[in-house]
Amino acid sequence: MTDPLSGQFGTERVTTDEREKRIRTLFQAVAGRYDLMNDIMSMGIHRLWKRGLARAVNAQRGEHVVDLAGGTGDVARLMAKSGARVVVCDPSPAMMAVGRGRCPESVDFVAGSAETMPFEGNSVDALTISFGLRNVTALHAALAEIHRVLRPGGRFFCLEFSRPWPLIAPFYDAWSYTVIPRLGAWVAGEPAAYDYLIESIRAFPTQAKLADAMCDAGFTEVGWRNYSGGIACLHRGTKA
């Protein structure tokens, strides 16, 4: 199966290494104002989506939970309240530096990418990724790596932008293509970063196609739940 995200950066064809370097440069530039931009772009709704993710994970005391691409730690903070051992794994030192300043000491931070995580196989009880899977360099390699680190019976949760219902799609497109890049220029000073983020949303698989990719990677009990009319979607799967 062809990886829908491999080698793409907007409409330009680039190598995997070039794509990874550019994405890291973008997050380096916007790290300090990343959460503020998310609040403005979504009018705060992303926080409700992430609370829904944390409730679905239902992390238990003593569990080993990894928040992949967790950056500033907003999801990790929610899950750590349960007493679970939460580790943020992210490739951006700048994003993790912001997260360390906002998270309790019980949340750990380690450097790593979705395709190569520094965890032993069959060692993680639950793994989450929110608005980060579309930034991986190779989707199917990332899903295989997530499957590797989870214990048998381990849970995988992916919160990501997806395909909205047709009725609201024109309004969502207008907001995405006209308002968000201008907000990126105004608040974060990086309009190019937000141009890329919008393009990456459009290139990401639909709800059904991502579910198929998860099944191909070996996950069972795969399903999804739309948020806000499909603007965002929470996928889940289990390692058999």
Between 3 and 233, the more confident residue is 233
Q: What superfamily does domain 8-239 belong to in CATH? A: Vaccinia Virus protein VP39 (3.40.50.150)
| Average pLDDT taken over every residue of the chain | 87
What is the pLDDT confidence band of residue 96, given thresholds at 50, 70 and 90? very high
Residue 189 CA, distance from chain mean position: 22
- Of 89, 92, 76, 85, the closest CA to residue 27 belongs to 92
pTM value?
A: 0.87
Three-state SS string across 2-28, please? CCCCCCEECCEECCHHHHHHHHHHHHH
133-185 pLDDT tens trace: 998 989 999 999 999 999 999 999 999 999 999 999 999 888 877 877 777 66
77-94 pLDDT tens trace: 999 999 999 999 999 999
pLDDT of residue 11: 43
